[in-house]
Every structure is written in structure tokens, then in C-alpha cells.
Structure 1
Amino acid sequence: MPSGLLALLDDIGALVKVSAASLDDVPTQVAKTTGKVSGIVIDDTAVTPKYVVGLDPARELAIIFQIAKKSLINKIVFLAPAALLLGFFAPWAIQPILMLGGAYLCFEGYEKVHSLFSHHEETPAPAEEVKPITPEELEQERITSAVRTDIILSSEIIAIAYSQVATQPLTTQIVVLLAVAVFITAAVYGFVGLIVKADDFGVHLAKEKQHPMVRNIGRGIVKFMPHFLKILGYVGTAAMLWVGFEIITHGIRVLHHLVETLEHTLASVPPLAWLAKAVACAIGGLILGFIIEKIVSLVRKLFKKK
């Protein structure tokens, strides 16, 4: 009996060592995954501040917290388990789902670029009766809309995270997915909180009671923030196109080979190689987004005729 107990303890010890060894790799996997989803993270960060524009400044952080909380719940309770189950029962579906998400990112990126350069005048819509809405209802509408957008981006983040650890032990998969969900949610919405309150901070610094140099810094922050948000929007759109097309190239060998060849050709100058690959993917994403938009428009017209 003692020998059996010792053998059992030895087995448990060996299992703990294996689990610990696999968990040692978690920070590396999280860092690797974060790099892979950087474009989506940038886009998520660029999109979210618009949902608090026009609302009570005193409620901005509370609204962002509500969006962040719902985003984290979606990642941990729904998306991560769905990725694990899909990876166990239908691993062949991971790549097509990633490519579908990549195509969506290209489509969204193209729509944003198109809206920047299209200046056509729209025919004013006939006047309609405006339904009164309370500040609380408007706030809830904004939160719902933000979460709806976030869940699409979060799905892509979790899918990419799982694809990086699909061959790892189940324990590592679970820990990495949870770590990525918590880390990215905290990073995105923490940074969004800093962005939306930066102008308030600038106004505080610009008050008369402050030192003249501090007041100048405060005024500079207030003037800079609108430009910063615009630049962040451009960067987010470019990142969306780049990441979306790069995801698709992983499922199409010819495209993947072309992108890798371009990167290897300029490998002697790493920054230039990275930039060339990013630009090529962004252009490819823009072209693909254009094609998808035309297909979507055609389908809409057909349904309208019916």
C-alpha cells in the first residue's frame, strides 16, 4: 500500500512538473500572440473613443468600464471556450474562420478608406418625427453598439491566440487564452480611458492657478488631442487592412509565398523588410476589401429588387 501511494505521488509530481514546464512558456506565447493581433488591438483602440463623444464627461470612464467589462466577459465566457471546443472537435475550421475574419477586416478597412475620400453630396432624407431619448438610454445604446463592434474584433483576437497554441497542452491553451483576454482588454480600454480623459487633464493644467509653463503644456494637450485621435484612426485603418490581408495569406500558399519572398528580399534591412511587407499587405487588403464591397453591394441590390 505505501509503495502504491508513493507511486501515485510520483505520478502526480511528474504531472505537476510537466504542467509547470508548459506554463513556463505562457509569457512567450502571450507576447507572441499580442504581436500577431497588434493591428486589431490598434483598430479597437482607435474605434472605441467615438462611443463616448457627446456624452457627459463625468460618465466617460464609467461607460468605458462597462464596455471593457462586457468585452472581457465575452472573451472569457463565450469566445475562449468556443475556440477550445472548435479546436478539439473541428480543428480544420480554425483557418477558414480566421480567413473569414481577415476578409471582414479588409472590408471594414476599405469602407473607412472609401469614406475618407468620397465627398459626394447626399440627398437630404425627408424629415421624420424624432423620438425623444434620455441620456441614460443614449448611454446604453452607445455601450451596446461598442460591444457589438468589439465582439467581432475580440473573436478575431481569440481565434488568432488559439491558432498560436493549438499544438500546446490543454492547460497552456487555457492559461494563454485567459491571459491574452485579460491583458489585451486591460491594455486597450486602459489606453482608451487615458485618451478620452487627456483633454480634461489638459484643461486642468491650463487653469490660471497653474504655472505659465504648466498652462502652456495643458493648452498644448487640448489642441493636440483631436489631431492625435485623427492620426490614431488612420493608423487603425491601415493596421486593419494589413492584418486582415496577412491572415488571409496564411491560408493561400501563393499569396503567402509572395509576401515571404518580398520580406526575405529585404531581410538585410529589417525595418525596410517589415515596412514593405506591411505596405504590401495593406494594399492587398484594400484591393480585397474593394472586391468584397462590390459583391456585397450587388447582393444588396438583388435583394432590394426581390
Structure 2
Amino acid sequence: MSGLFALLDDVAALVRLTAASLDDIAGAAGRAGVKAAGVVVDDAAVTPRYVQGLEPKRELSIIGRIAKGSLRNKLLFILPAALLLSQFAPWALTPILMLGGTYLCYEGAEKIWELVAGHHPSPEETQESKEAEPADHEKKVVSGAVRTDFILSAEIMVIALNEVAAEGLLSRAIILLVVAIAITVLVYGVVALIVKMDDAGLVLAQRDSAAVAALGRGLVRAMPIVLSVLSTVGIAAMLWVGGHILLVGIDELGFHPIYEFVHHVEVLVHDATGPLGGFLGWLTNTVFSAILGLIVGAVVVAVLHLLPKRKAAAH
């Protein structure tokens, strides 16, 4: 009997230890998620522009496919790679992340170039678009969205990884798994609500209550504006996030003047603006990051636009 009580006591101790470990993991996952919150906002702002112009009845299906691609990116590629690199080659995380940041800068600068240059599809491109199968067009949309999401997801996961770098390998894996699933559900749940808000407005507009119907009509009128604003925010977000990745990465690789200058200005703004110091300091860093992102993205766009022209001239 004493042996049984001893066994039960050991089991109880093990349960308490497991509960404490799970509590620590949950707390660490929460801290990691908060650290990545800025990129989560960017991800939620970037995604709605991919479903603009598509059939409303297909929007949720496409968002679901993008969400699946995002979760696949995080769980099958980014999480294992991040864990392996953090364990065996932590020095490689920063350069790889900077390559992703450069791609984001290019994406944002490319969109701005199209707006400034007034790029319009050629008659051939328009005809091909008309003749294209909807399934092929949707596949292209989903592929582009998942490709951009890969970079943002990598940034989220690396930020989370840095927050829990002191944890053991198993704890890191569990925390990143929790962060990956929670953030994917949060981002694409919010995106789904945003893009279907006009449908909700149509339903409300048909209600008998005058106030409810007016609210519904207001939602219907407002949603095109909201989606347009989010599309613009998405472009700015790509430049900001990409530029910030490069700003921090350059400093971590040993070249400090750019980061030190931005940090110095950020501290000056923070100290000089009283209660608004925290927000305005963050905004200062964001603006400089976006400027750096625009410069780098513009260089990449110029090179990629110049090379085809030089090849054509050579032919």
C-alpha cells in the first residue's frame, strides 16, 4: 500500500510539473505573439488586396486556400528550418531573413512603380485575361499571395524564435507551433471578416429597422473605400517590414551607422514629445524603415526593368 501511495505521489508531482511547463510555454507563446504583432498587422493589411476584383462568392474559398498555404509554409518549411538553423547555424538566420526583406521591398516598390508609371495591361494581356479559365486565374492569385505570405510568416516566426531563444529545443518547437497556428487563424479570420463585410451590409440593409438598414447601406458604401485603403496600407507595410528587416540585419552583420542614426533620431523624438513619445518614436523608426525599403526596392525594380530592355536592345 505504501508503494501505491508513493506512486500516486510521484504521478501528482509529475502532473504539477507538466502543468507548470505548459503554463510557461503558454506564457512564452503569448510574449512571442505580442512581439510579432506588428508583422501580423502587416499580413492582415496585405492579404485583402489579393481578392479585389474577384467574384464575391469565391472570396472565402480563396482566402481559405491562402490560409492553408500560409499554415503549410509555417509548419512544413519555416518552423523546421528556423529550429535547425537556430540549433546548428544561428548566424544564417539574419542573411536569409534579409533576402526575404529585399523581396518585400521589391514587391512594394514594384506596386508603386505601376501606380506612378500608369501601367495598364496591353490589349494582348487583356485578351489573355478574358480567355483565361477562372481556376487558372485563382491559382495565380493564391500563388502570389502565398509567396508574399511566406516572407511575412518567416519574419513572424523568427521574431517569435528570438523571443524564446533561451528555451530548450522542444519548448521552442511547441511555442512556435502554437504561434504559427494562432497567428494564421487570427490573420485570415480578420481578413475573411473584412472582405465579407459588404455582404453583411447587404443583409442588414434589407432589415425592417430603419437604423439597421442605414447601417447596412453604410457598410456597403464604405467597404470599397476600406479595401482600397487596406491595399495602400499593404504596399506601405511591405516597404516598412522589408526595410526594417534590412535595417536591423545590416546592424547585426556589423555595419552600425545607419541603425545608430535611425535609433538616435527615434530617441530624440521620443524624449521631445512627452506623452506621445512612444508612438511618435515608433513612427519615426517606421518612416525611416519604409524609406530604406523604398530605396532598396527601387534599385531592384530598376535593375529588373533595365535588364530586359538591354537584352531587347542587344537583340
TM-score (norm. length: structure 1): 0.82
Moved more, 255-264 or 160-169: 160-169
Percent identity (aligned): 44
- What corresponds to 1:165 in structure 2? 164
CA distance in 1, matches of 2:283, 2:17: 44
CA distance in 2, matches of 1:129, 1:271: 47
Change (3 A) 1:195 1:157: same
TM-score (norm. length: structure 2): 0.80
1:189-200 to 2 correspondence within 5 Å?
Answer: 189-200=188-199
Tell me if 1:182 matches 2:181: yes
* Larger proportion of helix: 2
Q: CA deviation at 1:259?
A: 1.5
Gaps of 5+ in 2: 251-255, 272-276
- What corresponds to 1:255 in structure 2? 258
Q: CA deviation at 1:64?
A: 1.9
Alignment RMSD (CA, Å): 3.2
Match of 1:215 among 208, 213, 217: 213
Tell me if 1:26 matches 2:28: yes
Q: Is the 8 A contact 1:46 1:229 kept in 2?
A: no
CA distance in 2, matches of 1:258, 1:127: 47
Letter of the 1:292 partner, please give it: V
Q: Is the 8 A contact 1:22 1:172 kept in 2?
A: no
Change (3 A) 1:292 1:75: same
Tell me if 1:297 matches 2:295: no
Change (3 A) 1:275 1:116: same
Gaps of 5+ in 1: none
Q: Is the 8 A contact 1:80 1:178 kept in 2?
A: yes
1:1-306 to 2 correspondence within 5 Å?
Answer: 19=21, 22-23=24-25, 25-35=27-37, 38-39=38-39, 41-119=40-118, 124-125=123-124, 134-207=133-206, 209-252=207-250, 253-268=256-271, 269-301=277-309, 305=314
Letter of the 1:200 partner, please give it: D
Q: CA deviation at 1:203?
A: 0.8
Q: CA deviation at 1:63?
A: 2.8
For residues 129-176 of structure 1, the C-alpha deviation after alignment (integer angstroms, 9 at most, x for no partner) is: 788555445444443443333333323332333233333321331122
CA distance in 1, matches of 2:260, 2:288: 13
Letter of the 1:222 partner, please give it: V
